Structure 1
Amino acid sequence: MRISTLTIFNQSVGSLNQQQSRFNDVSMQIASGRRVVNPSDDPQAASRAVGVSQSLAVTEQYADSRVSARNSLSQGESVLNSVSDAITSAKTLLVQASNGTLSDADRQSVASELRGTYETLLGQANATDGNGTYLFGGYSDSSAPFIKGDDGAVEYVGDSEVRRQRIDASRLMEVSDSGQAIFQSVPSGAGHVATAEQDNAGSVTFSGPQIVDDEALEAGQSYTINFAGDEASGFSYEVLNDDGDRVDDGAYSPGEDGMRIAFDGLSMKLDGQPVAGDSIAVNPADQGNTDLFTTLENAISVLENPSGTEAGQAALANTLGTSMRELDNSLDNVLTVRASMGARLNELDVVDGVSGNRTLNYEQTLSDLVDLDYAEAISEYSLRQVGLQASQQTFANMKGMSLFQYL
């Protein structure tokens, strides 16, 4: 059998190319630090690595989403902290204004300071995150959620829904709260609030109501206290519920410390001289005025327009008393929302911890699949280098083996 020179050259070149290719593959693995550089290196590991890489990318996206959610909640919680301080300041001013020794000028000064607090709260209700996004407008976050109408009253024009963001595969979190739920709501179980009718001509004042019997309390029931009679024959009162049924009545004759009446688990203290037709409404807190701005507007109005009459003084005392009760409810509501934001921030920390462990597991799995064992790779590199050098030397020796050299 004869072996031609062409065959020898072709086989030698093929062997050289094969050794060079294997040497280059190992060199590329060492340079990249990866055992699987191309899918053909280990098809099964490459396929599994694609799935793990996708899961890792999704986990990182959720991590970015949590950063955004944390920023939004942190800014909202910070604003609500300022809102709480402002409401507390307003309550302090109303307590000050309730002092009977103050003059009308003093009360107007308090009203001026209270209006400043009012404007501060309005600004906080329209707070943004620094990028022009309003914090408390729900999904309508591109425009101010609270605006002043032509009559000067503040109106909520934002969205009642709250923005939600997916922070993990199985968790869709609320990353903001509606301004309506913060500034125009009261917490459940806030009790009852009494309000004197604006057209009352008498000087009756009240305090309360307080809950004295939980079992007798009619949930969601509203009441109206009506006064009748005159000075000659004496005055009487009756308490009617929503259905118009009388739940209490009697003669109205307050002594030096006033007169206390009780009905359906509630108790109120009344004082002053009524006029027939005067009335006082007693409503569950969530059925009466729940608007923080309306509360402040009512208080400012009565302080800016004082009246020296007994009826005017009664209206002042009743309005301030009602406003303080409503401010307490508003503060409780703000604190409840703030606590909810804090709980969500804590939840983000917990999810971050779980996600961090998951990321480590994915990275370890990915490393086991495609990362390079340098000790093994360097050993193989040396082996391939020796094989390549041997092939080159063999070819160099064989190419000189020709009979033509001896002719």
Structure 2
Amino acid sequence: MRVSTVMMFERSVSSMNRQQSAFMEVGEQIASGKRVVRPSDDPQAASRAVGVSQSLAANGQQSDSRITARNSLSQEESILDSVSDSLTRAKELLVQAGNGTLSDADRQSMATEMRGVYEALLGQANSTDGNGSYLFGGYQDGAEPFVKDVSGAVQYAGSDQVREQKVDSSRLMEVGNTGRDVFQTVAAGSGYLARADSGNSGSLTFTGPKVTDTTADGYGDDYAISFSDNGDGTFEYTISGGPNGDTSGTYDGTSTTLEFGGVRLTMEGAPEGGDSLSVRPARNMSPDVFTTFENMLSALENPLDSDADKAAFANTLSTSSREMDNALDNVLTVRASVGARLNELDTLDAVGSDRAISYTQTQSDLIDLDYTTAISDYVLRQVGLQASQKAFVDLQGTSLFDLM
């Protein structure tokens, strides 16, 4: 093969360009701190790094989502704390109202304070978060969940579906509770509740009911107790409901204890013919803390002019006291659920932090630069470039005339 001067120059320039390209490539890596500056540097590592980067971004989004969820749940927990205080104060007023020495004026004064607690509770039920969304409205968080109708009774106008938020790759968490869950529900195991019908005109009062046997035949069923006057100072009572049909007995108008379906109910005073009581599981008695307040306010504000009025007041007091206990137990149960979710968010944060460290380390292993190796390569490439430049300079001075 004929070796020409042009070919020698071209090969020298090509070698020098290769050395300069390799030198600049290492310099670019050192300047950027990345081993893989562009996908062509290492296609497999670049591809894997894209997947890791997406996972890292998703983990960051989930972390932001947990912050939002924590803010909502923390605000709800704070409101539930205030609700618990309101219900506790209402229960204290109910206990005071049971004092038989109070006058109508005393009860009216208590009703004024009770109404203040009632309005405060309504305000708490319509609380908003920092963005103006109502905490207890469910998906319908743009309007007040609890509103008063034309009669002044509070009605729930929110959604029955709870807002959810994805706080981890496989965890969709409820970030609130509906108003119905908090204010119109009883906790599991709330037992039975008795209520005197509004049309009662006798002086019959009741104590209980008390659950005696949860395994009894008919436990969990609804019952109704009705009375008829025998005309001789005694009364016929009929217990309707349960698996065995109606049962009847005689009541002497003074005091008696009835046991049926695993519950015990004590009665005192004389009923009128047609009077009746309802005895049902608390969950079947349309639980609503605002209705309980309204019933109690009505009882406190009305004067007690007769034995029938006093009996109605005592029965309302007994039922309202149990309903208030059930409402408080339910709020505490919801609050415990909120606390459990906050604890779970803390755990997910710890897991997310560990996951972020793992992803970052994997990404670093794939594309980050080993400076020790890179600097060694940089020096080596520099020597190679200098050698090729020196060879090219020497080649320029080569001539056959030097040998003549």
> Into which bin does the TM-score normalised by the smaller protein fall?
over 0.9
Tell whether the 8 Å contact from 2:221 to 2:261 is kept in structure 1 after alignment: no
- Report what 1:128 is aligned to: 128
2:292 to 292, 295, 302: 295
Task: Tell me how far apart the structure 2 counterparts of residues 2 and 22 of structure 1 sit (CA, whole Å).
Answer: 30
- Cα deviations by residue, 1:186-245 (Å, 9 ceiling, x for unpaired): 122211111111121111111100012333252331222222226644333222226893
Determine if the alignment matches structure 1 residue 376 to structure 2 residue 398.
no
- Report what 1:219 is aligned to: 219
**What is the TM-score with the length of structure 1 in the denominator?**
0.93
351-360 vs 139-148, which moves further: 351-360
Tell whether the 8 Å contact from 1:227 to 1:236 is kept in structure 2 after alignment: yes
Task: Tell me how far apart the structure 1 counterparts of residues 173 and 67 of structure 2 sit (CA, whole Å).
Answer: 13
Determine if the alignment matches structure 1 residue 96 to structure 2 residue 93.
no
- Report what 1:10 is aligned to: 10
Tell whether the 8 Å contact from 1:248 to 1:263 is kept in structure 2 after alignment: no
Question: 1:110-125, aligned counterparts within 5 Å?
Answer: 110-125=110-125
58-67 vs 26-35, which moves further: 58-67
- Report what 2:357 is aligned to: 360
Task: Tell me how far apart the structure 1 counterparts of residues 13 and 148 of structure 2 sit (CA, whole Å).
Answer: 88
145-154 vs 218-227, which moves further: 218-227
Amino acid at match of 2:384: G
- Cα deviations by residue, 1:133-178 (Å, 9 ceiling, x for unpaired): 1111111111111111111111111111111112222222111111
Task: Tell me how far apart the structure 2 counterparts of residues 103 and 217 of structure 1 sit (CA, whole Å).
Answer: 45
- Cα deviations by residue, 1:22-57 (Å, 9 ceiling, x for unpaired): 111111111221111111111111111112222222
Question: 1:313-352, aligned counterparts within 5 Å?
Answer: 313-352=310-349
The alignment's C-alpha RMSD in Å is 2.2
Amino acid at match of 1:34: K
**1:6 CA displacement:** 4.3
**1:406 CA displacement:** 11
**1:404 CA displacement:** 8.7
**1:5 CA displacement:** 4.9
Q: How many equivalent pairs are there?
A: 404
Task: Tell me how far apart the structure 2 counterparts of residues 3 and 78 of structure 1 sit (CA, whole Å).
Answer: 90
Task: Tell me how far apart the structure 2 counterparts of residues 104 and 20 of structure 1 sit (CA, whole Å).
Answer: 103
Amino acid at match of 1:148: K
- Report what 2:183 is aligned to: 183
- Cα deviations by residue, 1:269-293 (Å, 9 ceiling, x for unpaired): 2112222211111121111130110
Tell whether the 8 Å contact from 2:162 to 2:176 is kept in structure 1 after alignment: yes
Tell whether the 8 Å contact from 2:219 to 2:261 is kept in structure 1 after alignment: no
Amino acid at match of 1:124: Q
Q: SS at 1:132's partner residue?
A: coil
Task: Tell me how far apart the structure 2 counterparts of residues 210 and 384 of structure 1 sit (CA, whole Å).
Answer: 91
**1:96 CA displacement:** 0.9
Determine if the alignment matches structure 1 residue 307 to structure 2 residue 267.
no
Inter-CA distance 15–314: structure 2 relative to 1 (3 Å threshold): same
Q: SS at 2:283's partner residue?
A: coil
**1:397 CA displacement:** 3.4
**What is the TM-score with the length of structure 2 in the denominator?**
0.93
**1:327 CA displacement:** 0.7
- Report what 1:38 is aligned to: 38
**1:123 CA displacement:** 1.1
Inter-CA distance 247–213: structure 2 relative to 1 (3 Å threshold): farther
- Cα deviations by residue, 1:269-325 (Å, 9 ceiling, x for unpaired): 211222221111112111113011000011011111222211111111111111110
Q: Structure 2 unaligned runs (5+)?
A: none
Task: Tell me how far apart the structure 2 counterparts of residues 128 and 318 of structure 1 sit (CA, whole Å).
Answer: 36
Q: Structure 1 unaligned runs (5+)?
A: none
- Report what 2:239 is aligned to: 239
